[in-house]
Amino acid sequence: MHKLYDFIEARERLGTVTVTTKLLHSDVFSDECGNDVYIKPENLQRTGSFKVRGAYNKICKLSDEEKKCGVIAASAGNHAQGVALAAQKLGIKAVIVMPKHTPLIKIESTKRWGAEVVLHGEVYDEAYQKACELQEEYGYTFVHPFNDEDVLEGQGTIALEVLEELPDADVMLVPVGGGGLVAGVAAAAKLKNPTIKIIGVEPEGAACALAGLQAGKPVELKEASTIADGAAVKLVGDLTLQYIKQYVDEIVTVSDYELMEAFLLLVEKHKLVAENAGILSLAGLKKLSCRGKKVVSIVSGGNIDVLTISSMITKGLIVRGRIFSFSVNLPDKPGQLVAVSQILAKQDANVIKLDHNQFKNLDRFHEVELQVTVETNGEEHIANIIEAFAQQGYMITRLNSSSLLEE
């Protein structure tokens, strides 16, 4: 286990490579959870995530002989770029094995930092096996994304930065995938300030750390199903689980819907873009039982493609009640669309989509079904629209938000 000076030395080691990401106070997230919330924006870090911290610290501590042999890693995202940049800065060879169907933008970003990319396998596990084979064949040093003392030591430097800027922080929320970030942050934070509370936040569909804690040992999940792909880990590290047991106060889980909501708020109110795994800590704010405390949420990364951004914004609007879809049965006679439009206009609901289908309601020959999607200002506005229709004799049916989110 680490001592405080280990993390202090790691921070000095990273001084010329990483950006000190300053805390941002968030009025909107403070209001949402009843605490005084600060964001640690590691999405603004070099390579767009915290991963460069652990990768550089690990590679920097290798012996001269190990550096001559080069390093290898398996990754489909942030770890790949962190290892590539670290190796480039230290002037050594880096080989990254990525699954064949890794998005081209991630492959090119990794190459841009000077790494040799090997595409192999359909999923991460197959890429990992290939990396192990290449390591054995060529004598590379393997840089694990989370289950490594030097890697988690590098990640822990985030806690030192936070507590230097906000020494009286009460709570720190940390995203959890394989556990390297939360292990390092929790250890460094507790060694610096034993009274601070550390809460790890996992996606409901990939809660491997929580499963490990409950079983007392790492337990492999049957599947990892979550939009937080960067945290879609089936098996927590055995090393990181030891740190979690010793230093982490609580693990909470959040749903994909809660991630969508947090994403929208971050983009709309702070003009910051983060990846789904990166905002786990923001989604976790609503799970806090405390009030009036100084809380820091670590936003761990921002590498997300444009199409996913668009989808997340739309889905976030639905979850927040900013988009409302409903159906209503209308008499099959002229003037009904005008009546519906007038009700919506009086309620200041902007129509986004309208589907008027005379053939959809075949069981009721004198009625047609109208499906409408409107832009709204939240749940109170939606309730007002429903009431306005009822007063005019129209019974509307709210379309299931889960079906809309799947479109």
Told to judge if 51 belongs to the known catalytic residues of this protein, a careful annotator would answer: yes
Q: In the β-sheet with 141-142, what is the strand arrangement from edge to edge?
A: 116-119, 94-98, 71-74, 141-142
Please pick, among 26, 75, 297, 300, the residue that the annotation labels catalytic: 300
**Residues 266, 32 contacting (CB under 8 angstroms):** no
Active site residue 315: no
Catalytic residue, from 26, 49, 51, 58: name it: 51
Catalytic residues: 51, 300
